[in-house]
Amino acid sequence: MVWLYKYSKEFLDYTIQVWQPDSKEPLTYQDAEEITDNVVGFYKLLLKWDAEAREKAAQAPEQASGQPAPAATAPAASASLPPPGSTGCDAPSGR
């Protein structure tokens, strides 16, 4: 059988394990891939909005005073993401 998914079988199995309690229907590998794509897309959008807000905030003092604003340093994107395999939440999930 040829594997036609972007993610490994192990990763999709884990995704199904995590999300199955929230679904009335049994989740498939295709469902797990779609869930993963949606979550990744959501976090990419949050990172984009954060970068835009930081850029706008950095430009605001310059526009008001005519002087350059101090350079804002943003943390690396990976520093704000949970490690692989974690839920990214410190509170117990109740599962």
Rounded to 5°, angle at Cα 40 from 39 and 41 = 90
Predicted TM-score (pTM) of the model is 0.58
pLDDT at 59: 86
pLDDT truncated to tens, each residue of the chain (95 aa)?
677 889 999 999 999 999 999 999 999 999 999 999 999 999 999 999 999 999 999 887 666 556 665 665 655 555 555 666 665 555 555 54
pLDDT at 5: 85
pLDDT at 3: 74
| Distance in angstroms (rounded) separating the CA atoms of residues 74 and 53 | 11
| Distance in angstroms (rounded) separating the CA atoms of residues 80 and 9 | 26
| Distance in angstroms (rounded) separating the CA atoms of residues 83 and 14 | 14
> Nearest-CA neighbor of 85 among 34, 37, 14?
14
